[in-house]
Chain A
């Protein structure tokens, strides 16, 4: 276009930089603070220190929380991905009355405030004597994560030539064989991405877990505990570690989702 304006474009770029600064300052800050000796950092910053990491390293409760987070994360990822795959395939393949309700019910949970979800879950799960157990956290996270898995896999299925499935039936593959040899291979990258991303979401969904779980605390619950009691900079160290592990999962998912067709020779 011949009518670009340098000044305007420069200002827009500056605006983007400021937005990113605003978004990432707290995240970067948390990293910096986790390696800072001050209890409550300010300018000028204190000296470099790994004390906070040592403190969490030596805290058995943190380890226990970490273990729970891992178990919950893995289980949730598998359950949410299985449920999400079924939902995504149903939406992709079938038309039936009430389908919009089915899809809405499947995708709605993330729009309900976590406080309310937590309250409802706790009320319900304590009624059926499940509150405070690891299972209850898994159930709650499953509800929150299944929509993400469904969305990711649905997106992949929408890239599939619908004739592929019919072609498989036409060549003698029944529905189960077609699922096994066509749909799943095609959706495989998205299935793995869904596994990783739901695991990352589970790591992060502290609020529901806080309400629902009792003693068997997951890592985010632990973080909330720190915040409620005396504010401890250890949260920065834990947050940074959790962030690094989440990012590892996301980058793995990203690599999987990137044009899988090219990966084969």
Chain B
């Protein structure tokens, strides 16, 4: 597996996945996962459902055993070690709060399992109830709480043993949008305050990119890229990541020859462009190359403006807050996405079927390293 490993792990690793494979029967849920998680790092594992992200987390928690490879936790190989012998508390997607216990009893649970005495249990639970600002609900039943309050109980319950690492499995997926944003802030601050490692599984790019120090992108059991949100956004490693991010136009082209001192002339179906040499130091004519141009870096012109570019027809438009995404189709059938402010778009004829010219500056072309080997 090729993973972009140029990013250095921030500090000494607390978790190491050493070529971990997980099979369920003949189905391979995780293929050769090989990465480290730094101490105090906020790592998000992102992917669509069934990509193996939850299985990866569950292996770390000890709820699944790897079929191959080894997992090291704090330097110790933990394969085969039962989850109840690890200190890897998890916040569940379903929250998994015990409905037959009160809020306080839920928070005390992990301490009770560890044989902590009644008095100390109460004291430590109260500290976390206070920290999560749910003291007033201590004697309530779980079913009487709102979604956000339950979330805080789940966090307090997981953190009460003061672990070095906290695992979170899509904990915010049940919340509505504005609560989600608030809980993201709570989680971010909490992680910084405590200084412990968070491993956060999610299918939401906005959650992963807004909270995490580094993001792992998985698809069909494979790790596609690991990096900071900026790295991934600016330089997606391969076609999958670029498509997953959703905002990049992907072109399959051929190097036609040099273009000036620091560029390559690249032709593709329906047009041609210049690719900076910084992106592709060595190339020969005829070589295939896959590159992207981000939707917000695309420019639009009227057909009569005399601008060189690709002629395309408007197919549709999607409203995205202060901007809009315009979907166009070239004469050769390639789909293009262009993201522009409403003001800018208002100057153009945007009826479906209208013709426009799409163009971009050479510096906005990035190659996909994973596709050009």
Chain A residues with CB under 8 Å of chain B are 161, 163-164, 166-174, 177, 181-182, 185-186, 188, 260-262, 264-265
* Nearest-Cβ distance from residue A156 to partner chain B, whole angstroms: 12
Interchain CB contact (< 8 A) of A172 among B94, B98, B114: B114
Other-chain residue from B62, B96, B141 in contact with A164 (beta carbon distance below 8 A): B96
Q: Mark B66-97, 1 if CB is under 8 A from A, else 0.
A: 00000000000000001110011110111010
In the complex, B110 has a CB within 8 A of chain A = yes
Asked whether, in the complex, the Cβ of B100 is within 8 Å of the Cβ of A174, the reply is: no
Q: Given A163-B92, A167-B90, A167-B92 in contact, is the A261-B63 Cβ separation under 8 Å?
A: no
CB distance from A52 to the nearest CB of B (A): 47
A177 to B115 alpha-carbon distance, docked (Å):
11
B167 nearest CB across to chain A (Å): 8
Residue numbers in B under 8 Å from A261 (CB-CB): 99-100, 141, 143
A163:B94 contact, CB within 8 angstroms: yes
**18 residue pairs bridging A and B, Cβ less than 8 Å apart:** A163-B92, A163-B96, A166-B63, A166-B83, A166-B96, A167-B90, A169-B63, A170-B88, A173-B109, A177-B84, A177-B113, A182-B98, A185-B100, A186-B98, A188-B100, A262-B143, A264-B100, A264-B141
Q: Does the CB pair B113–A168 fall under 8 Å?
A: yes
Interface 1/0 per residue, B131-170 and A, CB below 8 Å: 0000000011101000000000000011001000000000
Pairwise interchain contact B84-A172, C-beta atoms closer than 8 A? yes
- Contact status A167-B96, CB under 8 Å: yes
Complex alpha-carbon distance, A260 and B142, angstroms? 13
Cα–Cα distance between A122 and B140 once the two chains are bound (Å)? 55
Would B112 and A170 count as touching, CB distance under 8 A? no
Which of A164, A171, A181 has the most CB atoms of chain B within a 10 A radius of its CB? A171
Give chain A nearest CB distance to B92 CB in angstroms.
5
Beyond A167-B90, A181-B112, A264-B102, 9 additional pairs, beta carbon < 8 A: A163-B93, A164-B98, A167-B92, A168-B113, A169-B83, A170-B62, A171-B113, A173-B113, A181-B113
Q: Is the CB of A172 within 8 A of B141?
A: no
Q: Which chain A residues border B113 with CB–CB below 8 Å?
A: 168, 171-174, 177, 181
B208 contacts partner chain A, Cβ-Cβ < 8 Å? no
Size class of the B contact interface (CB-based, 8 Å): 20 to 34
Please state if A170 and B89 are interface contacts (CB–CB under 8 Å).
yes
Residue B51 at the chain A interface, CB threshold 8 Å: no
* B86 CB, nearest partner CB in chain A, Å: 8
CB-CB < 8 A to A264: which residues of B? 100, 102, 141
Cα distance A173–B139 when bound, in Å?
Answer: 22
Do residues A186 and B99 form an inter-chain contact, with CB atoms below 8 A? yes
Report yes or no: B98 in contact with A170, Cβ–Cβ below 8 A.
Answer: no
A96 to B286, CA, bound (A): 57
Q: Note all chain A residues with C-beta closer than 8 A to B61.
A: 170
Instruction: Give residues of chain B (260-315) contacting chain A, Cβ–Cβ below 8 Å.
Output: none
Contacts of B93 in A (CB 8 A): 163
Closest-by-CB residue of A relative to B99 is A261
Is A170 touching B143 in the complex (CB atoms < 8 A)? no
Q: Beyond A161-B94, A163-B92, is A170–B63 a contact (Cβ under 8 Å)?
A: yes
CB-contacts of B29-75 with A (<8 A): 61-63
